[in-house]
Structure 1
């Protein structure tokens, strides 16, 4: 069950706690749609027949940037905040593509809150993320994500 809190600042209680998403995989159809949008037309992503004979796993490779853009969705699976106006991704730091990911390979997100910092206008949430292979538990991608949760309907102090 994902972590659920009422307000963004409530996440401070969970700094250092490990969270996980459900298992997922990216299909050839996902890759094809991403390639059409990104223009990344390397054969390793799109030529299924060639991949069968020329790539070690015999399958196409998921573009690294397609893996990276899964982070917001996966974080939303791992935890939820009930009351906030909007959340913006402010920063991706320390992005590392550690291992190539083939299509249809089971993965999951492992995340840990590094800091939760309330400010006057927003709550800054810094999260260490790793998209891991289910089978080996090794990281395919690691990154630090900084989200800004805005909440203009603040609860008055003491409530």
Structure 2
């Protein structure tokens, strides 16, 4: 898979209103779910107890934390785009986010991204992205939303 290479605000702005790309699939394992539970102190049984989930959960298996799926955004975004000539990237805003479908353990996820807008704020690029986290073999995505990154390009 080839990444889109961006070196400046002007290059990014050319993608306004267009889909920039789609990442590779990433499989969410129970080990990853367990580590996320430890990192966030969210040890709810629907994420960790496979036996109980099998009998009591409507999903019939453990599921990933919704915020685990959101935390994959930078990793999967990095598979789609490569920012060169960059000092720093800052997570700025989640304007809207809707969880549409639970992500069962061992599901494969990929990210689809469209650039809604790119604005130059006195030398800082503000990029608003429409994001869809797709679940392999599912019509409904894990989530959809609009997120904003700030890019500080070298002059």
Q: Distance in 2 between matches of 1:81 and 1:8?
A: 10
Structure 2 unaligned runs (5+)? none
Contact 1:113 1:126 in 2 (8 A): yes
Query: What TM-score, normalized by structure 2, do the two folds share?
Result: 0.92
Q: 5+ unaligned residues in a row in structure 1: which ranges?
A: 155-159
1:1-159 to structure 2, matched below 5 A, reads 1-18=2-19, 19-151=21-153, 153-154=154-155
Q: CA RMSD in A?
A: 1.4
What is the TM-score of this pair, normalised by structure 1? 0.90
Contact conserved, 1:23 with 1:107, CA < 8 A, in 2?
yes
Aligned length: 153
Which of the two has greater strand per residue?
2
Give the 4+ runs in structure 1 shifted more than 3 A: none
The 2-side partners of 1:136 and 1:33 are apart by 25
- Deviation of 1:55 after TM superposition, in Å, equals 2.9
Higher Rg of the two aligned structures: 1
Q: Deviations over 1:35-88 (max 9, x none)?
A: 111111110000012222333443201010111111111111111111110010
